[in-house]
Amino acid sequence: MAVDKILIIGLGLIGGSLARSVRSSGFASSVTAYGHRSRSLKMGMELGVIDSYSLDLDEAMTDAGIVVLAAPTMVCGALLPELLPRLSPGVVLTDVASVKGWLLKAAQQANGGATPGQLVLGHPLAGSERNGVAASSAELFVDHQVIVTPEPETNPEALACVRAMWSSTGANIVEMGAAEHDTMLAATSHLPHMLSYTLMNSLAASAAGTDIFRFAAGGFRDFTRIASSDPIMWRDIALCNRDELLQAIDRYCAHLEALRNAVEAADGQQLQDLFIRAKSFRDTYSRGREPH
């Protein structure tokens, strides 16, 4: 399965990497891009990431067999009322956002309450703290998971098309419900990003101040790398997965408070138990999943 033309809406790290990958695999004959500003689109042309671009949505959508929303989540949500009425029969709409439930609701609202059959929401679990089309790579999705969240109303051909697109990038495809996705990602990705951003702000306010990076060992660098992620993207994720994220933060705070109180009480046994339990959980479930 292959398509003639793919339209990428929002040409950043993920959109650019998808463009590179579907072109080099031959899944798409050409890739065009649409955005509000021409800067990243022009850069995409210069870097050979895309074949063409347009600042006009009607022009950009002409002859596109797949439309991929790859802008920040709230921009995607705002575009849906414009996009859905322009979608010809047989054209597939998908996305790469880190939150699925919010976007599904936005699509239903823009579609008179019904789930659009041509819509297949998806989320590649790949990324980098480096942003923008300049950091894009055709190999970004190889051996990474892509979660696809079809609904009962989803057109089977549309689902097959999106699965084929991700298969062509070398990714492994997993299907689950949008709510399950959002709970999972709140725990494994959204919460850790909040913790890393918070560590930076907490350290910036501390006496140790700016000397910190001079004396930071490898573990610290690993821990804080994700605090260099795109603030606009993460603002949208925090807003769009608000309820799940709040639950994850509150659960985390309760556990942190228990540890804090054990430190204050100098309760060595409890600290040891907490650390052993954490290490055991990580060692057991990360086994065989390390990239190196």
DSSP classification of residue 189: I
Of residues 126 and 178, the one with the C-beta less far from a copy of itself: 126
Helices (H) and strands (E) in the chain, counts: 12, 9
Collapsing DSSP states into helix, strand and coil, what is residue 83? Answer: helix
**Residue 195 in the binding site for a copy of itself (CB under 8 A):** yes
* Total residues interacting with a copy of itself, rule: CB under 8 A: 96
- Taking the least distance from each CB to a copy of itself, the nearer of 160 and 174 is 174
Three-state DSSP at 226 gives helix
Question: 146: which 2 tokens?
Answer: 């892509």
Whole-number minimum distance, CB 261 to a copy of itself, in Å? 10
Q: Decide: is 139 part of the binding site for a copy of itself (CB under 8 A).
A: no
Determine contact, residues 199/224, Cβ cutoff 8 Å. Answer: yes
Site for a copy of itself in 141-160 (CB under 8 A): 144-145, 147
To the nearest whole angstrom, how small is the minimum distance from the Cβ of residue 108 to a copy of itself? 20
179 binds a copy of itself (CB under 8 A): no
* 238 touches a copy of itself (CB under 8 A): yes
When binding is defined by CB under 8 A, the residue of 1, 78, 142, 263 that contacts a copy of itself is: 263
Measured on CA atoms in the order 101, 103, 109, 112, is the torsion positive or negative? negative
Q: Which of 56, 114, 152, 210 binds a copy of itself (CB under 8 A)?
A: 210
If the CB atoms of residues 43 and 125 are measured against a copy of itself, the closer one turns out to be: 125
DSSP 123-187: EE----SS-SGGG--TTTTTT-EEEE---TTS-HHHHHHHHHHHHHTTPEEEE--HHHHHHHHII
Distance CA 227, CA 265 (A): 32
**Smallest distance from the beta carbon of 113 to a copy of itself, in angstroms?**
23
Q: Which two tokens stand for residue 158?
A: 């549309």
Nearer to a copy of itself, 159 or 194 (CB): 194
Q: How far is CA 25 from its chain centroid?
A: 22
Q: Is 245 in the site for a copy of itself (CB under 8 A)?
A: yes
Interaction between residue 204 and a copy of itself (CB under 8 A): yes
Q: Which of 26, 114, 156, 217 is close enough to bind a copy of itself by CB under 8 A?
A: 217
State in angstroms the smallest separation of the CB of 281 from a copy of itself: 4
Contact 65, 92 (CB under 8 A): yes
The residue behind tokens 């002409």 is 62
Can residue 275 be called a binding residue for a copy of itself (CB under 8 A)? Answer: yes
Q: Which residue number, 53 or 234, has a Cβ lying nearer to a copy of itself?
A: 234
- Residue 66 pairs in a beta bridge with 6, 92
Asked if 286 interacts with a copy of itself (CB under 8 A), we say yes
Q: Distance between CA 255 and CA 248 in Å, rounded? A: 11
Q: Answer yes or no whether residue 251 interacts with a copy of itself by CB under 8 A.
A: yes
Provide the minimum distance between the beta carbon of 109 and a copy of itself in the complex, in angstroms, as a whole number.
17
Q: Pick the piece of the chain touching a copy of itself (CB under 8 A) from 23-31, 112-120, 154-162, 219-227.
A: 219-227
